[in-house]
Amino acid sequence: MGTSVQVSPLSGVYNENPLSYLVSIDGFNFLLDCGWNDLFDPSLLEPLSRVASTIDAVLLTHPDTLHLGALPYAMKKLGLSAPVYATEPVHRLGLLTMYDQFLSRKQVSDFDLFTLDDIDSAFQNVIRLTYSQNYHLSGNGEGIVIAPHVAGHMLGGSIWKITKDGEEVVYAVDYNHRKERHLNGTVLQSFVRPAVLITDAYNALYTNQTQSHHRDTEFLDTISKHLEVGGNVLLPVDTAGRVLELLLILEQHWSQRAFSFPIYFLTYVSSSTIDYVKSFLEWMSDSISKSFETSRDNAFLLRHVTLLINKTDLDNAPPGPKVVLASMASLEAGFARDIFVEWANDPRNLVLFTETGQFGTLARMLQSAPPPKFVKVTMSKRVPLAGEELIAYEEEQNRLKREEALRASLVKEEETKASLGPDENSSEPMIIDTKTTHDVVGSHGPAYKDILIDGFVPPSSSVAPMFPFYDNTADWDEYGEVINPDDYVIKDEDMDRGAMHAGGDVDGRLDEATASLMLDTRPSKVISNELIVTVSCSLVKMDYEGRSDGRSIKSTIAHVSPLKLVLVHATAEATEHLKQHCLNSICPHVYAPKIEETVDVTSDLCAYKVQLSEKLMSNVIFKKLGDSEVAWVDSQVGKTESEKRCLQPMASAAAPHKPVLVGDLKMQDFKQFLASKGVQVEFAGGGALRCGEYVTLRKVGPTGQKGGASGPQQILIEGPLCEDYYKVRDYLYSQFYLL
Amino acid sequence: MASSSTSLKRREQPMAREGDQLIVTPLGAGNEVGRSCVYMSFRGKNILFDCGINPAYSGMAALPYFDEIDPSIIDVLLITHFHLDHAASLPYFLEKTTFKGRVFMTHATKAIYKLLLTDYVKVSKVSVEDMLFDEHDINKSMDKIEVIDFHQTVEVNGIKFWCYTAGHVLGAAMFMVDIAGVRILYTGDYSCEEDRHLKAAELPQFSPDICIIESTSGVQLHQSRYIREKRFTDVIHSTVAQGGRVLIPAFALGRAQELLLILDEYWANHPDLHNIPIYYASPLAKKCMAVYQTYILSMNDRIRSQFANSNPFVFKHISALNSIDDFRDVGPCVVMASPGGLQSGFSRQLFDIWCSDKRNACIIPGYMVEGTLAKTIINEPKEVTLMNGLTAPLNMQVHYISFSAHADYAQTSTFLKELRPPNIILVHGEANEMMRLKQKLFTEFPDGNTRIMTPKNCESVEMYFNSEKMAKTIGRLAEKTPDVGDSVSGILVKKGFTYQIMAPEDLHVFSQLSTATVTQRITIPFSGAFGVITHRLGKIFETVESSVDEETGLPVVVVHERVTVKQESEKHISLQWSSDPISDMVSDSIVALVLNISREVPKIVVEEEIAVKSEEENEKKVEKVIYALLVSLFGDVKLGENGKLVISVDGNVAHLDKESGDVESEHEGLKERVRVAFHRIQSAVKPIPLSAD
């Protein structure tokens, strides 16, 4: 009957930890998001590690660490090997976010949880979908259709709809119903009555969103105030998510006011980020794509923002007040942390937070009220080795290399024996050596000479070491030399060769500096020292998170009115608050599972399918109501030729049924309708509508609930016996369909 | 699924619902190339594919035959790509006709559409009366055009559609339309060969029931891409190496970008050529370059991986020329210029200068329209006429290397073999080529299950689809799965083409509709004794229950468990009931009764005998009414033997048994109709049963 649906959170319930939820639909396991936080604590991923290998598909929603940060680690260490589905921007910007995270970490620690290669390989098997693309899964997932839809919040951000047999499971976290500069609002409201809605209660208690217009003014005023007195402004931002909106605001404002203060966007991947974003116009708001279509004006051709990929460029920038957007937003790593430490003790400077810092990070600490006067910060730096350390390191490396070489030669010997033994006529006796040489060069760089000498051991079992000699005899037959047609086929690859040279690494788009950092194999070490930083600069927090606030969350859920609701990702209070609210007024089935607690949200809906026979349908008269049509049917169950259940007309006259009035009466609309018919009409107290002199009309019963979930409407019409009464009654009837 | 037009089926057609007929009518591009426009209608939904002009004509003559259809009934208009013969009559159709549906195209198409048509309006030198639309109309049309991304499913009035990559040019799409489970694929122009920047046309996941496919290339086969590119680069390399100039006349958009990519790449791989400049001389192409630089996502993986390093459309060895004045002709160079046909403009100016030098070369990169100079010089005449009327010897080398991105025969037949659509409709091809293609395709599908049609303009192809209507019974009604013979009654909700049956109580749960109950309370002045009312009601209605209101202690009467009559005060009584037709009727009669009591006191006489007598009379009356109604419905109704009625319609005869309601007839449809009519008449003339359940 129903499709079985189970939800069990792996992280991110009753707190603000990264998001990661396991949803199993008829035994097919979806991992919804695979997040990590800026602290990269592997213990957070323990629940995931227990189920990673059983996961069949991963769906990603947003391109930030909280939603996809654990992907490389889970793929490498936890045995996650399922295909990953995401939109193109989530894939691309997510990849850049991970690069930035890795490179920032690598600068300050011996980060070994994953490497750039792990990131590349994790993102290589991402299947990219477009919004509203219905993707039919195959294999065990046969019959399941997944589709990403617009979520707002971040570029490419998605809410996922998973459908099986008409049952819809909707996963919507961090959506934004408001339209922003570069993003459209979510389309979550267009889903009506899904079987299950999994959503976050993150902002359930936060209802104080100021008008975006006022907020922008305040934001820009705060920045310009500090710039004008000669201070610097630091905005700790994420790598490729919300920062795009901030860049647009600044860019627009700078062109309007013709400011000359420079703006710098500093992450390890800033230039690639903007390059990609420029080609993602189809994912952005209608106004951005419209302006491009009509005037070819790409909003992300930033004229006032300088993209920087390393800190030296910023240090070399002309002195004077400037705005710097730098990652990470948490101030735990990245350029933002360094800059913060440098700038914190100047009271003219401003650190402007645009989002709530992750729990337990420096940013969160600074956002507390009142802000701390001093913070203790551990600053780490990667420095090249020098002097004795370097010598010791080199000796160690040499020793390792020698060992490696010895092992390689042994292996080679084995191989040589193995290959030469049975196949003495091998036409290329030298091949083993060339291969080994090649390998050695590849992995050990400049040390290869030693190894060539070390490694060149004559194969002990060979018959006689000699240079290869080929007897160049060609085969002839009666038509002449035998030709192998393959030799003359023009190979297709040839024409792409040039491009491929230029193309190089397919996925690993990195800036040159980054690349140099990556390839920088100079021995180095990390040194740390603790600093006490005096925080004398101004600290301001403004909400540019781009999430729906509590009130809109409630009205959105009420509009969607799912049959069952699962709440995740919020503090305990917020979760409890929203749960109570929904239980009271939206739907009776609200769940807020704890970590690794499995809730069964299989719908208890009964349904079966029948075929409607032509005979039946030819006698049905539909009445149009909104975008659907309704009719009453009396029918009898029969069988079609193919043994399917089929509805046929009744053989005998149907028993009369209780008449049903179908329609949704809005008092306000009805009032206008009556007025247009010339009836004097006004609202009396208590929601009653006075029509004419005597007749009153009111709605009784529970009325506070929206979405039609409250059951049938009760309308009471009363008045004395008079003509008006019957007139109003006729008008009222005209608003309904009688079935 | 598709029914042929045999006589048997024809006879049944009047009985089948009208909506099951599917009509495809080319309004343009039927047995011709240009002005693509195909109309399709099925189950009351109307779709138009493409909206082009014929570039060979001007003014109204260039339009498709729009007057064949009523533009106001079109629900959706889908544009496959930006070429003039597919999109250029759109401003006219949107602004000058009664069309009020929705228009969709891909992002890239929309961006280029505007530039291209604005350019077209500027360039076309026709009189004001002949102008189909102006720049203002184009700008207005931009607001009405909606964008669709590849694979994105959109639903409009129950029509579901999505698009696949079509190759051909940037943003070109093939549309798959799904109406009530019947799928139609319209390919537009497509190419199954991946080239330097475009993806090959995708093979749709689902096989369509009808495939409307282009046939431009007919039965021709293309040269392999490698050979074409090699010839192209070799000619250019050898010409410039000998100090010659190369002219490539090409249409500003589409293939030109592909050729530029080839050149830029070739130059990058041959440093010896770096001192030889390449120009493209088209302001339009220059404007569109921004679009090409942006919609990288619609291109193939190769471009996307190059994009990872640098944008391939930011050319390193190619520069733009705005006009011939900027061009300094000082030695070997490569120039790509429009128009492609060498009719006039920049490409012609260069041709006139260069044609007599035998070191120079001209490469014609694609299909050329009859009558243009480009078509003429392919045959390498000795002399050509210059723009100033003089003749000059044609000494430059002329090469024809086709880079046209239309599917050739091999691609078309593979594409169709994979999809195996039962109906194939060929459009967008020259009549002879199309016939050859049709013949050859027939040999590919010898089993006879495939119909291949080549309708001319305005010639309709009709097909019949017997789509099953499946309904889902949900909620309370479905608690028990019924067996054969059980009855199912409920509300049937139709949304788009999906049906659901549910109990009225569940309506608000499973749909956005809601039910309502209307309670009515009416007060009537009445000053007599309440007992009189109770007595009178008891005389007229079968079930009348008296009780006493618990709160006020006043008497209450409930009639037929529907209407509550209550004494409100000395002067008033009230009636309360829940609205439905029967209760309304009961209450009306109570109101009449109460009013009559206050007016006068009529005598109620029980007249038993009359009642019995009237019973018989009633029977007769009923019979008469039934007869009269049947006559009004079916015309020829006679009284047959055994009291049966004989009804004959169009030579079919049905016998109706008035007693049981049984109908006998050889014609199923007639039998059904008579039976339903008789049931309805019976329920109309017989007394209304009061107990609803």
Query: Is A443's pLDDT higher than 70?
Result: no
pLDDT per residue over B447-463, tens digit each?
778 899 999 999 999 98
* Rounded distance between C-alpha atoms, residue A117 and residue B521, angstroms: 78
- With beta carbons under 8 A apart, name residues in chain A contacting B515: 660-663, 712-713
Give yes or no: B572 in active site: no
- With beta carbons under 8 A apart, name residues in chain A contacting B291: 296
**Per-residue pLDDT, A474:** 66
How far A510 CA lies from chain B's nearest CA (Å)?
8
Residue keyed to tokens 């079935």 = A739
Nearest to B226 among A296, A492, A647 (CB): A492
- Percent composition of chain A: helix, strand, coil (DSSP 3-state, to 5): 35, 20, 40
> What does the block give as tokens for A216?
């922008």
Nearest to B521 among A495, A710, A716 (CB): A716
Beta carbons within 8 Å of B498's beta carbon, 6+ residues apart: B472
CB A243 within 8 A of CB A60: no
pLDDT mean over B277-293:
85
* Rounded distance between C-alpha atoms, residue A245 and residue A212, angstroms: 12
pLDDT mean over A543-571:
89
Residue type, A262: P
Question: Residue B486 and residue A503: Cβ atoms within 8 Å?
Answer: no
* Rounded distance between C-alpha atoms, residue A228 and residue A223, angstroms: 9
CA A695 to chain CA centroid, nearest Å: 56
- With beta carbons under 8 A apart, name residues in chain A contacting B20: none
Question: Residue B294 and residue A133: Cβ atoms within 8 Å?
Answer: no
Secondary structure class of B555 (helix, strand, coil) = strand
**Per-residue pLDDT, A428:** 44
Query: Is A506's pLDDT higher than 80?
Result: no
The CA radius of gyration of chain B, in Å to the nearest whole number, is 38
**Per-residue pLDDT, A372:** 84
**Per-residue pLDDT, A650:** 75
DSSP string, A57-125: EEE---SSHHHHTTHHHHHHHS-----EEEEHHHHHHHHHHHHHHHHHHHHHS---S--HHHHHHHHHT
pLDDT mean over A36-40:
88
How far A114 CA lies from chain B's nearest CA (Å)?
22
CA of B303: which chain A residue's CA is closest? A503
Secondary structure class of A353 (helix, strand, coil) = strand
- With beta carbons under 8 A apart, name residues in chain B contacting A622: 492, 494
* Rounded distance between C-alpha atoms, residue B45 and residue B19, angstroms: 9
pLDDT bin (cut points 50, 70, 90) of residue A628 is: confident
Residue keyed to tokens 């196949």 = A423
Longest dimension (CA), chain B: 125
CA atoms within 13 A on the CB side of A236: 31
Query: Is A431's pLDDT higher than 70?
Result: no
Question: Residue B474 and residue A739: Cβ atoms within 8 Å?
Answer: no
Question: Residue B489 and residue A278: Cβ atoms within 8 Å?
Answer: no
Q: Indicate the range of A248-257, B133-142, B514-523, B541-550 predicted with least confidence.
A: B541-550
Nearest to A628 among B486, B495, B505 (CB): B495
Query: Is A495's pLDDT higher than 50?
Result: no
Torsion angle, alpha carbons of A93, A15, A112, A92, to 10: -10
Question: Residue A499 and residue B493: Cβ atoms within 8 Å?
Answer: no
CB B575 within 8 A of CB B564: yes
pLDDT bin (cut points 50, 70, 90) of residue A472 is: low
Taking alpha carbons only, the member of B654, B652, B622 closest to residue B638 is B654
Question: Residue B309 and residue A502: Cβ atoms within 8 Å?
Answer: yes
**Greatest mean pLDDT among A529-538, A686-695, B430-439:** B430-439
* Rounded distance between C-alpha atoms, residue B199 and residue B151, angstroms: 14
**Greatest mean pLDDT among A569-583, A723-737, B339-353, B557-571:** A569-583
CB B508 within 8 A of CB A709: yes
Nearest to A656 among B150, B474, B689 (CB): B689
Taking alpha carbons only, the member of A38, A106, A105, A45 closest to residue A80 is A45
pLDDT mean over A102-109:
86
pLDDT mean over A385-389:
80
Strand ranges in B90-201 using DSSP code E only, listed in sequence order: 102-105, 145-147, 154-156, 159-165, 173-179, 182-186
**Per-residue pLDDT, B623:** 81
CB A190 within 8 A of CB A178: no
**Greatest mean pLDDT among B172-181, B302-311, B653-662:** B172-181
pLDDT per residue over A181-194, tens digit each?
899 999 998 888 88
**Per-residue pLDDT, A722:** 84
* Rounded distance between C-alpha atoms, residue A205 and residue A570, angstroms: 10
pLDDT bin (cut points 50, 70, 90) of residue A504 is: very low
CA of B143: which chain A residue's CA is closest? A290
A and B: number of Cβ contacts within 8 A: 310
**Per-residue pLDDT, B604:** 55
CB B50 within 8 A of CB B37: yes
Nearest to B309 among A503, A655, A665 (CB): A503
**Greatest mean pLDDT among B121-125, B161-165, B328-332:** B161-165
How far A27 CA lies from chain B's nearest CA (Å)?
24
CB B423 within 8 A of CB B453: yes
* Rounded distance between C-alpha atoms, residue A96 and residue B362, angstroms: 46
pLDDT bin (cut points 50, 70, 90) of residue A248 is: very high
**Per-residue pLDDT, A30:** 94
Query: Is B647's pLDDT higher than 60?
Result: yes
**Per-residue pLDDT, A505:** 41
- With beta carbons under 8 A apart, name residues in chain B contacting A647: 471, 488, 501
CA of A505: which chain B residue's CA is closest? B305
Q: Indicate the range of A263-272, A445-454, B252-261 predicted with least confidence.
A: A445-454
CB B74 within 8 A of CB B92: no
- With beta carbons under 8 A apart, name residues in chain A contacting B162: 133-134
pLDDT bin (cut points 50, 70, 90) of residue A704 is: very low
Nearest to A634 among B153, B269, B489 (CB): B489
**Per-residue pLDDT, B307:** 78
- With beta carbons under 8 A apart, name residues in chain B contacting A561: none
Question: Residue A275 and residue B226: Cβ atoms within 8 Å?
Answer: no
**Per-residue pLDDT, A23:** 94
Query: Is A422's pLDDT higher than 50?
Result: no
Secondary structure class of A630 (helix, strand, coil) = strand
**Per-residue pLDDT, A695:** 84
Nearest to B142 among A130, A293, A619 (CB): A293
> What does the block give as tokens for A577?
């608050």
pLDDT bin (cut points 50, 70, 90) of residue A471 is: low
Distances (CA, A) of B204 to A709, B6, B161, B185, B415: 40, 32, 12, 9, 10
Question: Residue B478 and residue A607: Cβ atoms within 8 Å?
Answer: yes
Q: String of b and e for A582-603 (b: at least 16 CB within 10 Å)?
A: beebbbebbbbbebeeebebbb
Nearest to B149 among A134, A282, A619 (CB): A282
**Per-residue pLDDT, B36:** 92
Question: Residue B514 and residue A712: Cβ atoms within 8 Å?
Answer: yes
- With beta carbons under 8 A apart, name residues in chain B contacting A661: 515-518, 579-580
**Greatest mean pLDDT among A146-160, B277-291, B359-373:** A146-160
Taking alpha carbons only, the member of B112, B517, B309, B674 closest to residue A711 is B517
**Per-residue pLDDT, A710:** 52
**Per-residue pLDDT, A667:** 79
Beta carbons within 8 Å of B475's beta carbon, 6+ residues apart: A605, A606, A607, B502, B503, B505, B506, B509, B510
CB A99 within 8 A of CB A268: yes
CA of B154: which chain A residue's CA is closest? A132
**Greatest mean pLDDT among B93-97, B319-323, B590-594, B638-642:** B93-97
pLDDT per residue over B479-507, tens digit each?
777 777 788 888 888 877 778 888 887 77
pLDDT per residue over A193-221, tens digit each?
888 999 998 888 887 667 778 888 889 99
pLDDT per residue over B314-344, tens digit each?
888 888 887 777 888 888 999 998 887 787 7
pLDDT bin (cut points 50, 70, 90) of residue A424 is: very low
* Rounded distance between C-alpha atoms, residue A457 and residue A439, angstroms: 16
Query: Is B6's pLDDT higher than 70?
Result: no
Q: Which one of A279, A298, A620 would you mutate to disrupt binding with B, by most B Cβ within 10 Å of its Cβ?
A: A279
Question: Residue B501 and residue A610: Cβ atoms within 8 Å?
Answer: yes
**Per-residue pLDDT, A1:** 47
* Rounded distance between C-alpha atoms, residue B147 and residue B159, angstroms: 16
- With beta carbons under 8 A apart, name residues in chain A contacting B154: 132
Question: Residue B492 and residue A507: Cβ atoms within 8 Å?
Answer: no
> What does the block give as tokens for A214?
């006022």
Tell me, what's the ipTM?
Answer: 0.76
**Which of B237, B406, B535, B667 is an active site residue?**
B406
pLDDT mean over A133-142:
89
**Per-residue pLDDT, B99:** 93
Secondary structure class of B127 (helix, strand, coil) = coil
Question: Residue A662 and residue B519: Cβ atoms within 8 Å?
Answer: no
Query: Is A513's pLDDT higher than 70?
Result: no
3-state SS, B334-362, equals EEEECCCCCCCHHHHHHHHHHCCCCCCEE
Give me chain B's average pLDDT, please: 84
pLDDT per residue over B552-611, tens digit each?
777 888 888 888 888 887 788 888 888 888 888 888 888 888 888 766 655 555 555 555
- With beta carbons under 8 A apart, name residues in chain A contacting B268: 498, 502
CA of A502: which chain B residue's CA is closest? B306
pLDDT per residue over A272-319, tens digit each?
899 889 889 889 998 888 888 888 888 898 889 999 988 888 888 888
Compare B466 and A467 and report the one with higher pLDDT. Answer: B466
**Per-residue pLDDT, A236:** 93
* Rounded distance between C-alpha atoms, residue B472 and residue B456, angstroms: 42
Rounded percentage of chain A residues whose pLDDT exceeds 90 = 29
Rounded percentage of chain A residues whose pLDDT exceeds 70 = 84
Distances (CA, A) of B164 to A128, B201, B508: 15, 7, 38
